[in-house]
């Protein structure tokens, strides 16, 4: 026998995860293998799986083996280590975290039989990027730090060997499990780390390799895909989902789960006892409404499900919130105005995959019938957040799963347009612009960070932001060093305009004046830019409005600065001097 695939089956939710993993492996594995479910003992510490769980495992041909925790009974993650010490005739033993789903058919590569550790590097480096930390760990074992490196798969940090322990393979009869457990205990007893950290097993893993003189071979993300950190990729084979809400977030994964559950109704009976699992088999909650001659989309999760979405950004005070208010009136359209969830991903030094996850989580929650947060008042998106800036929870009304989803932010999205394109290349970026006279006049009487052009206070895109290009940091430093507040405002407008024009071919510009005077054509053009957007149905309430001005707030000095410095950019946006 070539392979043994083993995992933990423990009383509670882990039973469902273990069964789902076993069924998915049984369905999609194409090789000479055995499946082994390990049950932690004694039952007084870990409980006992339900008889129905053990019966289903038996019907799947899964061998059930009792294990004990070789590290510390107060460290449940340590149960996995004993999985690699079970008796088997296989040449290679692979351990899998129970919260992994095999998504599609696969045959292990011949390379997997080599007598080395096979594992994927960690998702994120976190504190382990510090060389001194690894020196202190290896010194416990009188070993040098290896002169080899890996990239963390999500953040792309350069690290000494450090692996995700959710899926790993070792040669049988290697004493690996015993040495791994000993390494964990010695690190834990040394006091160099916090008491029983959940990543203790991963810290001890490369040390164990060094102690045994065992080589390693890095697996790519397909074979331990971090679905909790990145949008699902259809080439993934083993998907590490962590929570059922991640399966629900990804229609392709939810579809596979439903396929497996239909084949094994006993699993569905267990899932029905936990709401977070039971919902995976439920159809989407949308209001019943169809138009003549239109085809209603499927209400069950599907890998082919369209997810039309877009970003709204632009110059602050250029009509972005007004655009949100208009889109809020459109059927099957949801617009989140200035979500707070975007800032942490945009501040990270690696691609903001969590922005894409946020979009998918919002869609999932709406389709599950759960309320979301938005800047609304009396059922309408707040048009001027300088006057009213509150958030409420509500459940948007949608009639189909493939509704159009927008989020809006001005300064933060403008500073990260290239990164947004990287993580969501299908989502167009809608950029609102406005004549500098009207924009700056509005700034002068609104939020202090715009009135003072306080670029050092921007949470994303400040003058020390390392994610910005060199020319952007230079422009922002110039603004920060300027004393004349009127000049600072004009320089900020010029900088933002230059940022927009630097990616003009990749974005769709919306002029404030056109949006206000002809909203119907503006919205139609926007929807034409969104791939797979449903048919646009505009309500009669969307009508032309009046252009608003606050030019009386500007003095001669303001106007002169705008005239002297903004001409090149305003012409590029289709404006003339004087405000037309």
How far is the C-alpha of 530 from the C-alpha of 26, rounded, in Å?
40
pTM of the model: 0.92
Neighbours of 507 (CB within 10 A): 20
CA gap 546, 434 in Å, rounded:
14
3-245 and 309-572 agree in CATH topology = no
- Structural domain boundaries of the chain? 3-245, 309-572
Structure-block tokens of residue 447: 């939020």
Locate 380 and state its tokens. Answer: 């309408």
Going from the first residue of the chain to its last (580 residues), give the mean pLDDT of each consecutive group of 10, the final group possibly shorter.
94 98 98 97 96 97 98 93 96 98 95 96 84 91 96 94 97 94 94 78 97 98 98 98 98 97 95 96 81 60 88 97 95 96 95 97 96 81 66 90 97 97 97 97 94 97 95 98 98 98 92 97 97 94 91 95 95 84
Could you tell me if residue 152 is left (phi over 0), alpha (psi between -120 and 50 degrees) or otherwise beta? beta
Q: Which helix (H) or strand (E) holds 22?
A: helix 13-28
CA 422 to chain centre: 13
DSSP bridge partners of 117: 216
**Angle in degrees, CA 538, 543, 544, rounded to 5:** 135
Predicted local confidence at residue 505, as pLDDT: 84
The CATH number corresponding to 3-245 among 2.60.40.10, 1.10.3810.10, 3.90.550.10, 3.40.50.620 equals 3.90.550.10
**Are the beta carbons of 579 and 445 closer than 8 angstroms?**
no
The two beta strands, 238-240 and 100-102, are: antiparallel
3-state secondary structure at position 233: coil
DSSP letter assigned to residue 145: P
Are 249 and 360 in contact by the 8 Å Cβ rule? The answer is yes
Tell me if 115 sits within 8 A of 216, measured CB to CB.
Answer: no
Reduced to 3 states, what is the DSSP secondary structure of residue 196?
A: coil
Q: Which of 510, 414, 547 is nearest to 468 (CA)?
A: 414
Q: What secondary structure does DSSP assign to 288-354, as a single string?
A: ----TT-PPPPSS--TT----EEEEEESTTSSHHHHHHHHHTSTTEEEEES-GGGHHHHHSSS--HH
pLDDT computed for residue 289 by the predictor:
65
* E strand residue ranges, 181-269: 216-218, 223-226, 238-240
Q: Which two tokens stand for residue 417?
A: 């347009």
**Among 550, 562, 579, which residue's Cα sits nearest to residue 492?**
562
CATH number belonging to the domain at 309-572, selected among 3.40.50, 3.90.1460, 1.10.238, 2.30.30: 3.40.50
Q: How far is CA 77 from CA 97, 164, 201, 366, in A?
A: 10, 13, 8, 34
The two three-digit tokens of residue 175, written as one number: 């004493």
């Amino acid at each position: 026998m070539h392979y043994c695939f083993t995992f933990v089956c423990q009383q509670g939710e882990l039973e469902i995860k273990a069964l789902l993993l076993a069924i998915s492996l049984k369905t999609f594995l194409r090789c000479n293998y055995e499946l082994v479910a390990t049950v932690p003992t004694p039952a007084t510490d870990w409980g006992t799986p339900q008889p129905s769980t053990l019966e289903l495992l038996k019907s799947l041909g899964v061998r059930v083996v009792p294990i004990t925790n070789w590290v510390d009974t107060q460290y449940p993650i340590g149960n996995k280590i004993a999985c690699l010490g079970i008796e088997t005739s296989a040449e290679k033993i692979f351990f899998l975290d129970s919260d992994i789903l095999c998504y599609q058919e696969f045959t292990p590569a011949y390379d997997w039989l080599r007598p080395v550790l096979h594992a994927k590097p960690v998702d994120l480096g976190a504190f382990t990027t510090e060389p001194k930390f690894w020196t202190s760990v290896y010194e416990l074992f009188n070993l040098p730090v290896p002169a080899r490196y890996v990239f963390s798969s999500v953040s792309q940090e350069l690290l000494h060997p450090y692996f995700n322990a959710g899926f790993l393979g070792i040669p049988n009869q290697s004493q690996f499990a015993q040495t791994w457990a000993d390494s964990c205990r010695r690190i834990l007893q040394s006091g160099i780390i916090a008491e029983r950290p959940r990543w203790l097993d991963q810290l001890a893993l490369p040390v164990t390799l060094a102690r045994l003189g065992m080589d390693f071979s890095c697996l790519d993300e397909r074979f331990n895909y971090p679905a909790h950190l990145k949008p699902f990729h259809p080439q993934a084979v083993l998907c590490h989902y962590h929570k059922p809400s991640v399966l629900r977030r990804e229609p392709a994964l939810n579809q596979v789960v439903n396929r497996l559950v239909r084949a094994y109704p006993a699993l569905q009976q267990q899932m029905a006892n936990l709401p977070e699992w039971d919902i995976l088999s439920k159809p989407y909650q949308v209001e019943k409404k169809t138009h003549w001659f239109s085809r209603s989309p499927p209400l069950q999760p599907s890998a082919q499900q369209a997810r039309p979405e877009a970003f709204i950004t632009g110059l602050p005070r250029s009509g972005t919130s007004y655009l949100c208010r208009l889109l809020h009136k459109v059927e099957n359209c949801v617009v989140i105005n200035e979500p707070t969830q975007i800032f942490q991903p945009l501040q990270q030094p690696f691609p903001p995959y969590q922005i894409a996850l946020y979009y998918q989580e919002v869609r999932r929650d709406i389709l599950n019938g759960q309320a979301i947060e938005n800047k609304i008042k009396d059922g309408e998106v707040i048009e001027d957040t300088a006057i009213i800036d509150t958030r409420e929870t509500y459940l948007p009304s949608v009639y189909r799963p493939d509704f159009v989803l927008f989020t809006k932010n001005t300064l933060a999205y403008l500073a990260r347009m290239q990164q947004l394109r990287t993580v969501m290349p299908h989502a167009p970026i809608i950029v609102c612009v406005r004549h500098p006279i009207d924009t700056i006049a509005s700034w002068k009487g609104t939020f202090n960070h715009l009135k003072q052009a306080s670029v050092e206070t921007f949470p994303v895109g400040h003058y020390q932001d390392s994610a910005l290009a060199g020319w952007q940091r230079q422009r922002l430093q110039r603004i920060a060093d300027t004393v004349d507040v009127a000049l600072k405002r004009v320089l900020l407008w010029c900088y933002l305009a230059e940022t927009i024009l630097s990616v003009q071919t990749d974005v769709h510009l919306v002029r404030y004046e056109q949006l206000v005077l002809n909203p119907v054509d503006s919205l139609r053009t926007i929807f034409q830019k969104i791939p797979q957007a449903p048919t646009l149905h505009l309500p009669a309430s969307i009508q032309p409005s009046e252009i608003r001005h606050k030019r009386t707030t500007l003095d001669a000095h303001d106007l002169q600065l705008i005239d002297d410095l903004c001409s090149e950019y305003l012409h590029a946006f289709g404006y003339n001097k004087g405000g037309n």
